[in-house]
Structure 1
Amino acid sequence: MSAGPGVGEDLLRDLAPQVLARLVRTYGTGQFDVCEDAVQDALLAAYRQWPAEPPADPLAWLVTTARRRYVDRVRADSRRRDREAREALLAEPLGGSPAGPETAGSPADDSLLLLQLCCHPALPRTAQVALTLRAVAGLSTAQIANVQQLPEATVAQRITRAKRRLAELGGDLPRPRDAAERLGPVLDVLYAMLTEAHHTTSGTPARDTDLAAEAIHLARLLHQALPSDPEVAGLLALMLLTESRGPARQAADGALVPLDEQDRTRWDQALVREGIRLVEATVPGAAPGPYLLQACVAALHAEAPDTASTDWSEILALYGVLEVVTGRQNPTITLNRIVAEAQVHGDGAALDSLAGLERVHPGLPRLHAVRAHLLARAGRKSEAADAYRRAARATRNLAERQYLQGRLRAL
């Protein structure tokens, strides 16, 4: 029986979290490292074998192969002091039943469960998010560092410490009582996936459509489980409205197109309508949370036919509330507020605010790009050119660097 045309890299990416979840449930968080390596082995085997011999049941094939690789790794790991404990786990899995053939289950439940399992309550929230982005979303250390605006070494240490802590916990695998448990870090993970999908670390490609689709898929599942939670609804709406702009974000030659230059008739109107409906249904009576507030900003952009007719005063007010809600701890929010401030109070006021932000956060991504844009609008071309050069040197994103260099040439 052929697996059909859907068997490929996209399917492997979709199935990987489900396979990892099943191994972790079977062998425990103490074996997380080994389970993760075994899943990677299975994915590599699938990549090599499936083109010639596609399986009838891809998920069962991957789970079976990953379990075999797990057994191989445990038996070969004679240098680890807990080798005997691992051998015992092979014979007595956590569930009390042998690791036999794959049984029917819900892939959706597996994906959400793995998100919660990696957000282990014994780990600090920063480690929960970093580990989950690595294990569930499959992001590299460099990508996680880019999303969190941290040095790669810091992120690598967090992941290593998190795995070590899970190993110290042995076979203890506390299940979440419901979908609301560990919700904060789960939302942070989904938001980080959205950020990387629409502003990739390398810029090649400029937009990761597969990662965006997976983030939206998981957010939909979470919203189905918690339909009355305003932050869950807000994050889903934000994802839908952000994704709706995808068709207009790149020109025919692949160059980035900023929001104020996009052809809004190319936006996905079905996603726009769904996102706006979700915001309108959620806002009445809801406490202002960071994800719902950002969704409100995105909805105002989506409702406007162009930049000039956008309700910038309302957007500026929303960013002011968002700064308060987040304790003024997120400089990117402040940067976005300054962009709105330029539209309401003029470029001069915004440039003054930008100078104050730079004194506190001199290495903030996009700061030089925003300054260059404001200086160019103010007619200060020489200063704008210098700011564009600094912005291009500071970004590692190829697509963004090419855009900034194009703006520099246009001056």
Structure 2
Amino acid sequence: MSKRKARRSAPEIVEMSLSSVANAEIHTTEPSSSEHRRSKLWAIGGAMFILVLTIGIFASNGWFPRTDAMTGKRSGWFGKPLPLNATSTWNPLAPSPTPQLSKEYIYAGSRLLAVEDANANAAPPADLAVWRPSNGTWYVLGGPGSAQTFYGWGANGDIPVQGDFDGDGKTDFAVYRQSNHMWYIVNSSNGSETYMDFGGTTDLPVVADYDGDGKSDIATWRDSTATFYVFKSSTQTSWYTTFGASGDVPAPADYDGDGKADITLWRNSSNTFYSLLSGNGQAAQHTFGSSGDKPVSADYDGDGRANYALRSGASWIIANAANTSTATSTPSGDASTDIPVQNDYDADGKVDIAVWRPSNGHWYIRKSGSSNGLRDDYWGASGDIPVPALFRR
């Protein structure tokens, strides 16, 4: 396993005062009227040349707001480039398609970030975000009235993953490529890129903070051997544990509140969650729900511990704060074909029940805050993969 880092240099912005060039005095020795006119023409021509050159430099480097390919609206900030997916030298991800990941496991990744984000101090609302496999582009929308961001990172067949790998409090753009078991990460703290060979061609990413250092750890679940493989960011060492059985669904999260994600699996055949608690090293199990339910564990009550939770059809079944009592059903009003995208969208420290509807690209969020209302936002298109997280703070 190897890890390489490369930092991309920020483009140099050269400030030029065009007015000073246009108004500059040209000293001559008693010029004739024709010479004076020629001098003025040269000055004006020089100023125009510099203006055109400057505009070209700014445009070629992406320092003017660009048009969002999805919404048709302008996006970006002057002086801050938002690079598109391209074959330029900064983007190392040449297309190499791999089998598309089941959505059941994709939102397992979203779930882990929901737990981590909800426990952050003074966290702002999570951003709405989708990743488009067809062009490898991330589309991010902040809260109402916030700016839009789009970023090219990844290739068709990659698996989008969410995590704060550099510990700066922001989610980093990242993908896992099964074909070469490589992780490609853009660190939001400084724009550097991390590439790491970790996992196997059939492994699934299960990113979470397993060592409690405040950084997400690169990790995979290998179904064929029922094994978790984790690369701990605190010690830069790897470890693995065999737990569960083939066919189980990984659902790691911090269920005991010790600040570390617990190895956890959901088994459809027995309707049971199985956990290895990091706080005391003990195994735990919780049986509820029914076969076919999907795990959506997260911290829904804001107590710093993830609740065991399931999505059953169009309803959500969430265990109590101590994860000890019988779970209760909370109708959400969504359709059974919607994709769960639970996260803290109202910044109250509690994860909100939410779904994304592939057929129309709408986000339906049942806020846990004082308003307790339903939020409906359009962001994304059919074929996109929802990846909500705190990309900006």
Higher helix share: 1
Give the TM-score, by structure 2 length.
0.28
Higher strand share: 2
Higher relative contact order (CA 8 A, sep 6+): 2
Give the TM-score, by structure 1 length.
0.27
